[in-house]
Amino acid sequence: MTRRQITRNAVRLGVTASTGLLAAGLVAAPALAETDTADGRLVRTASGPVLGGIGTDVREFNGIPYAAPPVGSLRWTAPRPVTPWSSPRDATKPGPVCAQSPYNKPVGSTVSEDCLTVNVTTPRDASAAHKKPVMVFLHGGDLTTGSGSQFEPRQMAAQGDVVVVTVNYRLGIFGFFGHAGLPGSGTFGLQDQQAALRWIRRNAAAFGGDAGNVTLFGQSAGAISTCGQLTSPAAKGLYDKVVIQSASCGSYIPTLMLGQQAPTTTATTKWKPLAEVDAQGGALAKELGCADAATAIDCLRGLPTDRLLPHTEEFSSGAYGTPTLPQNPEAAIRAGRFNRVPTIIGHTRDEGRMVTTSLVNPAYGGTPMTEQRYVRLTDQAYGARAADVRRHYPPSAYAAAGDQWAPALAWAAIETDRTTVCPVLRDADALARRTSVHAYEFADPNAPTWTAFPEGFPAGASHISDLTYLFDVNRPDGTPVTLDAAQRALAGKMIAYWTAFAHSGAPDADGAPAWAAYASGTRHVQTLAPTRIGSVDDATEHQCAFWNTAE
C-alpha cells in the first residue's frame, strides 16, 4: 500500500487516536534464541541485539540505550558510547525516566540518572527492503520534567507508514547545569538529543527506517530543543525536516508554572549566556559545600541524586556562546543562521489556559480570579504597559463563559498571545524567508486536557492538548485520554498531515484539505478543528500587531 493510499484510508475512516489503540494486539517478546528473527522481534543494533514486542500492525522496541549512563564520573560530561552487548537485550519495557521532580512524572515510573534510552515503534512491514521515514519526538516539560515513554506512537507508525522514535534526555540540573571550566557547560541535554540522532542515523536501517529521511519534532520544551538543534552546527546533517509545536525559538511559556502565583512574563526565554549559567552553577556549588573551584565538579559529582534534585528547576535554560549553541537560537533564526530544512510550526489556540488554572484551581493553591486580582496581576507582569494591555484584553470580552471565569480567561488570552502565538508567528516569518514553512493553529475548543482544570473552567485548546491527537497518552496521574468520534476524525487528519510531511517535506495528505505554505509577512495559517480545517487570520485573532509594537 502506498503512502497516499494509507493517508486516504486513515482520513476516510477517522482512525482513532485514543488510548489503547492496538494495545490488545501487542505481544511481549518471549525468550527467543538469537537466531529466531523471522517475525521481526529481534533486531541487531550497532551496539547489540534487542528483543521487542510485535502487534497486528506495529513492532515496538523500548528502553534501548543510545549512550552510556551519565552517572558518577560521567555526570555532566558529553554523552559517551554505550558498552556493547552480545546477548539479546529485553526491549519490551521503557527505561527509567530521567531524574526530575514529581510534577509531570508518569505515575509508577522509575526515576534515575541512568536514563539515556530511546523507544522505537515501526510498521509491521518495515524492513531493509521497505524502509520508512523516521520521526524523532522530543518531549516537553520545561526542560526539567517529562519522558519519551509518555507518548505512544502506534497510531502514527501504523497509519502514517513511518518509524517513530521517542527520546529521553537529561533534564534540569543534570542536563543544563553549568560551571566555569566545565566542558559542555549548560548544554548536556541538547548533546544527548544529538547523540540520539546520531544513534538513529547508525541504526535506522536495522528497524526498517530510512536514515536519510529523518524528521525531528518536539512540543513545548521539546520544540525549544528542536529550535536549538535547528541552529546548532553540531546537529547539521542529523535530521532532514523539523516540526516545532507550541513554543517559539526565543520567548517561551511564562515563568508562571503550576503552583506558582507570581507571574513575570515580560522577559521569559529558555536561553541564557554561558557566563550566566556558569555563575549560577558556581553559586550553587558553594551552597552545597563544594566551594573550591579546583575540586568543585568532583565534589558535586560525588553528591547523591536526591541532594541535587531540589535545585533542578533552577537549571531550565540552555547555554549559548558554546560549541553546541554558538548563538542565542532566537537571534540565529532572525539572522538566517540555521539549518535550512522544511519546517512545520504552530500552536494551540488557547495555550495559556493550562498554566492559568494554577491561579484559580485549589489543587494548585489557586483562588478565585476577581477583576481586582486581574488588575494586580497585569500590573505586576506589565508595569507601565498594564493599562494598555487591559484595554486590549478586558474581562468583559470573555463574559460569555460566565463572570466567574472572565478575568481568568482574559489573563489566559494574554499569556497565549504574548508568550506563544505572536513569537511563533515571528519565527515563522523568519524561517519562511529562507526555507519552506507550513504553519498551523490547533483549535478544538473541547480538546482533552493534560492536567486537572477547575470544574466548569472552559479549557479550550490548551497547552499540550494537541498531542492527544497525535499519540495515545495517559496523563501523568495515569488516567487515559479519550477522544469522541469527531475528534478521532481530526486526529486521523492531523496524523496524515504530520506523516505526509515526514515522507515528502510537505503536509499533502490525500482526503484532507489542502494546506498552503506559509509566506513571510502573511497572516494566515491552517486551523485544525473537528468542525473546520482551513485558513485562519492568526495574527489578527491573537492581536499580534499590538504585541509586536509593544515589544
9, burial (CB in 10 Å: exposed 0-12, middle 13-18, buried 19+): middle
Torsion 419-185-275-314 (CA) sign: positive
Residue 488 · residue 14 · CB < 8 Å: yes
Which backbone phi and psi does 437 adopt, to 5 degrees?
-135, 140
Residue 94 · residue 32 · CB < 8 Å: no
Residue 355 · residue 260 · CB < 8 Å: no
Residue whose C-alpha cell reads 521539546 in the numeric block = 222
CA torsion angle for 46, 139, 472, 455 (degrees, to 10)? 160
409, burial (CB in 10 Å: exposed 0-12, middle 13-18, buried 19+): buried
CA torsion angle for 108, 110, 111, 114 (degrees, to 10)? -160
470, burial (CB in 10 Å: exposed 0-12, middle 13-18, buried 19+): buried
> Rounded distance, CA 106 to CA 247, Å?
22
Question: Among 496, 501, 449, which residue's Cα sits nearest to residue 473?
Answer: 449
Residue whose C-alpha cell reads 555532566 in the numeric block = 76
Alpha carbons within 13 A on the beta-carbon side of 195: 24
3-state secondary structure of 50: strand
Instruction: Provide the residue type at 50 as one letter.
Output: V
Catalytic residue among 220, 246, 317, 462: 220
Residue 194 · residue 235 · CB < 8 Å: yes
Annotated catalytic residue 220: yes
Q: Which residues, including other chains, have CB under 8 Å from residue 303's CB and lie 6 or more apart? A: 288, 290
Which triple of cell numbers denotes residue 70? 551519565
Q: DSSP per residue over 435-446, as a string?
A: S-EEEEEE--TT
The catalytic site residues sit at: 220
